[in-house]
Amino acid sequence: MNPLTGYLFVAALLFAIGLAGALTRRNAILVLIGIELMLNAANLNLIAFWRYGPHPEALTGMMFAIFSIAVAAAEAAVGLGLVISIHRHAHTTDLDAMNRMKG
Amino acid sequence: MSIVFYVLAALTIAGGLAAVLLKNTVHCALSLTVAFAGLALLYLELDAQFAGWAQILVYIGAVAILVVFAILLTRGSETPKDGVYSKNWLVGLVIAAGVFAVLGWAVLQSSAVLPHETAVPTVTVLQIGNALMGRYVLPLEIVALLLTAALIGAVIVAMHEKESDQ
Q: What is the pLDDT of residues B131-158, one digit of tens each?
A: 889 999 999 999 999 999 999 998 888 8
Domain membership of residue B94 (yes or no) is no
Give B164's pLDDT tier (boundaries 50, 70, 90). low
Co-location of B11 and B63 in the same domain: yes
Whether A24 contacts B83, CB under 8 Å? no
Domain membership of residue B103 (yes or no) is no
Whole-angstrom CA distances from B61 to A73, A82, B70, B165 are 11, 21, 15, 40
**C-alpha–C-alpha distance, residues A97 and B80, integer Å:** 12
pLDDT of residue A37: 94
pLDDT of residue A75: 92
Of the candidates B36, B103, B116, the beta carbon closest to that of A3 is on B116
Q: Is B166 exposed, middle or buried (0-12, 13-18, 19+ CB in 10 A)?
A: exposed
**Stronger pLDDT, B82 or B27, i.e. the higher one:** B27
User: How close, in Å, is residue A102 to chain B by CA atoms?
Assistant: 15
Domain count, chain B: 2
Q: What is the DSSP letter of B114?
A: S
Whether A37 contacts A17, CB under 8 Å? yes
Q: What residues of chain A, 55 to 84, have a C-beta less than 8 Å from chain B?
A: 56-57, 59, 62-63, 65-67, 69-78, 80-84
Q: What residues of chain A, 34 to 53, have a C-beta less than 8 Å from chain B?
A: 34, 36-37, 40, 43-44, 47-53
**C-alpha–C-alpha distance, residues B166 and B163, integer Å:** 9
Least confident range of A63-72, A86-95, B40-49: A86-95
Domain membership of residue B117 (yes or no) is no
Of the candidates A19, A76, A83, the beta carbon closest to that of B74 is on A83
pLDDT of residue B163: 58
What's the rounded mean pLDDT across residues A80-103? 80
| Domain A3-97 CATH assignment equals 1.10.260.40 | no
User: In chain B, pLDDT over 70 holds for what percent of residues?
Assistant: 92
Whether B64 contacts B37, CB under 8 Å? no
What's the rounded mean pLDDT across residues A7-34? 92
Of the candidates A4, A70, A81, the beta carbon closest to that of B143 is on A70
Q: Is the pLDDT of residue A103 over 70?
A: no
Domain region containing B29 = 1-78
The CATH number linked to B2 is: 1.20.120.1200
Co-location of B2 and B68 in the same domain: yes
pLDDT of residue B76: 62
pLDDT of residue B166: 43
pLDDT of residue B165: 46
Domain membership of residue B96 (yes or no) is no
Q: Is the pLDDT of residue B46 over 50?
A: yes
pLDDT tens-digit map of B61-87: 999 999 999 988 887 666 666 777 878
Contact yes or no for B20 and A2 at CB 8 A: no
Give me chain B's average pLDDT, please: 87
